[in-house]
Amino acid sequence: MTESQAPAPGAPPVSPYAGQALSPDKWVNVSRLVTAYYCNVPDPDVAAQRVAFGTSGHRGSSFLTTFNEAHVLAISQAICRYRQRHGISGPTFVGIDTHALSEPAFATVMKVFAGNGIDVMISEGGEYTPTPAVSHAIVTYNRRRSAGFADGIVITPSHNPPDNGGIKYNPPHGGPADSAVTTWIETQANELLRSGLRSMPRMSVEEAMRAATTHPYDFLNTYVDDLHNVIDMDLLRDSGIHLGVDPLGGAGVHYWPAIAERYRLNLTVTRTTVDPTFGFMTADWDGRIRMDPSSAFAMRGLIAQKNAFDIAFACDTDHDRHGIVTPEAGLLPPNHYFAVVVEYLFEHRPEWRSDAAIGKTVVGSQLIDRLASKLGRRVYEVPVGFKWFAAGLLDGSLAVAGEESAGTGFARRDGSVWTTDKDGLIPALLAGEMMARTGRDPGALYQTLSHALGSPVEARREASATAAQQAVLAALTADKVRSKRLAGEPINAILTQAPGNDAPIGGLKVVTDHGWFAARPSGTEPIYKIYGESFQGDHHLQQLLGEAQSIVDAALGDAESLPRIVSAPENAPDAGAS
């Protein structure tokens, strides 16, 4: 499911606008949004208006005074302090997506970084930059270095609605910063807000762009020219498979034509529109515009064209997530496709390390565990957030890693690191490689896989939650589960820490032989979520979720005082780790 406000109590789980084009009066007013970015000043005494790094950076809306110039000034200066504190003396690679607030936030970042005398690498000609292109640049620059390491910033709220802005920090390993880093930056930034942002070195935007420390970098061609080292582009070209891609108006809009030209692919870009209102999108399940390639509602336009291509795909606004569409299966659920990716890669990447593991989150499918057992591979299971995979992808101990929310990364064909952040482009292209080599699309490959190992059904529920309720849920302990059975099966494990790295999962997971549930607060919204999966069908899944709900209600106290929980619609996977 995507990041969103939970439906109001009693409201239907799916908006009547879901999957429909919205009228212009429902689009974001970009002029007012940008005006609010500069004019609304956050009050650090109001919790909701402070800097808050969720699972992937600070996000918010200028209308709500949660993403404004003061926030970005404070975060930028805090990052400068972090760099100085940790001796990071190389350049900072900065990328931006196509959200309306990304351009003004970029200008703010440049003022601060130039004022601090930091070398900044920005895209040539103002080109938008996908998250994976920034990670690729950091990893490439730092390879074989022992000092002078680079880091990066990506200005994006991922697939969030058009009125959102976001900024995240990638340290020298190239992936999302871990909690210790983001907590330090967050604390420093909020202290700067409280001080009124006094005594901050900064330049005007014009001075910053002309500064000797500001350098152009060809993110696009550097990334595109290297793709053959992670995907078999020769095989894909020679197959003649007709590929279709919808960039969803995101940062990769010019990357796809460059990829098609560079590798002579039979690839059609179905839409090249870049519009900060994103009014060309169909509304997501809750009636809001959201550029989520794993949502059937947001992907309605590409799904309608599925028969025009052998395989079609889309990526979200910063191109770190993917959605795969085939003529027979339509839009593949992320967990289904990730299982196919894992099986295919380990069968067709002979140079990968024999001990390289599979990374998954605690809310990823149990099918991955069954597949890993078949492949003789170890599973590295971590809390929600791609940041937990960065170190393993960098050192090669992880060959492939994925989230239930359609975020995936994997190694180069020779087993070395590609990127350490999610990359939506390479799993999209891999779908074509799969078909070129096997003669079957990923939907058909999943059917074979699930027939052999089991066919899970999954669902997610959510409801509004106060900060206090979220804190209670995050601190759930095993003694809150008093029963020894779940949905008729003996309980095998009650987890509050992830098996892979022993890190707190910020909630609770209960596992049986044929199913599991996990309950956790959102890292980016005032809601909580219950995930469930069963290998025994829908009836068993609903029984499992019902018992999970009772556990959560008891933990949070008076269940009648809570907003009524609603089922998240199918094909709307989680976005908490974007």
CA distance 259 to 303: 22
Which candidate, 159, 523, 573, 570, places its Cα nearest to that of 405?
573
Q: In the CATH hierarchy, which top-level class contains the domain 457-561? A: alpha beta
Exposed, middle or buried by CB within 10 Å (0-12, 13-18, 19+), for 371?
A: buried
What confidence tens digit (pLDDT) does each residue in 361-416 have?
A: 999 999 999 999 999 999 999 999 999 999 999 999 999 999 998 999 999 999 99
Q: How confident is the model at residue 79 (pLDDT cuts 50, 70, 90)?
A: very high
Q: Which residue has the higher pLDDT, 478 or 80?
A: 80
CA distance 73 to 16: 40
How large is the average pLDDT for residues 547-552? 88
Judge contact between 381 and 361, C-beta under 8 A: yes
**Domains of the chain: which residue ranges?**
24-217, 223-355+406-453, 457-561
Q: Most distant CA pair in the chain: distance in Å?
A: 67
Q: For position 210, what pLDDT does the model report?
A: 97
How large is the average pLDDT for residues 451-460? 94
- Rounded (10°) angle between helices 425-438 and 255-263: 30
CA distance 578 to 571: 17
Q: For position 557, what pLDDT does the model report?
A: 72
Q: Please state whether beta strands 379-382 and 357-361 pair in parallel, antiparallel, or not at all (unpaired).
A: parallel
Q: For position 270, what pLDDT does the model report?
A: 97
Handedness of CA 281, 282, 287, 290 (dihedral sign): negative
What confidence tens digit (pLDDT) does each residue in 284-336 have?
A: 988 999 999 999 999 999 999 999 999 999 999 999 999 999 999 999 999 99
Q: How far is CA 67 from CA 37, 162, 291, 355, in A?
A: 7, 13, 19, 43
312 - beta bridge partners?
244, 325
What confidence tens digit (pLDDT) does each residue in 423-440 have?
A: 999 999 999 999 999 999
Judge contact between 261 and 130, C-beta under 8 A: no
What confidence tens digit (pLDDT) does each residue in 14-23 have?
A: 899 999 999 9
Handedness of CA 372, 426, 577, 174 (dihedral sign): positive
What confidence tens digit (pLDDT) does each residue in 233-276 have?
A: 999 999 999 999 999 999 999 999 999 999 999 999 999 999 99
Judge contact between 363 and 470, C-beta under 8 A: no
Q: How confident is the model at residue 569 (pLDDT cuts 50, 70, 90)?
A: very low
How large is the average pLDDT for residues 210-218? 98
Q: Which residue has the higher pLDDT, 100 or 482?
A: 100
Q: For position 551, what pLDDT does the model report?
A: 85
CA distance 337 to 134: 25
**CATH number given to 24-217:** 3.40.120.10
How large is the average pLDDT for residues 511-515? 96
Distance of CA 386 to the CA centre of its chain: 8
Q: For position 336, what pLDDT does the model report?
A: 96
The verdict on domain 223-355+406-453 having CATH code 3.40.120.10 is yes
Q: Does 577 have pLDDT greater than 50?
A: no
Q: CA torsion angle for 578, 386, 542, 468 (degrees, to 10)?
A: -70
Of 15, 62, 102, 158, the active-site residue reads 158
Q: What percent of the chain has pLDDT over 90?
A: 85
Q: For position 460, what pLDDT does the model report?
A: 84
123 catalytic? Reply is no
Q: The whole model's pTM is what?
A: 0.93
Q: Does 167 have pLDDT greater than 80?
A: yes
Q: For position 564, what pLDDT does the model report?
A: 46
Which candidate, 529, 556, 312, places its Cα nearest to that of 435?
312
Alpha helices in 386-500 (DSSP H): 390-395, 425-438, 442-453, 467-474
Q: Please state whether beta strands 267-269 and 214-217 pair in parallel, antiparallel, or not at all (unpaired).
A: unpaired
Judge contact between 551 and 498, C-beta under 8 A: no
Alpha helices in 143-218 (DSSP H): 179-194, 205-210
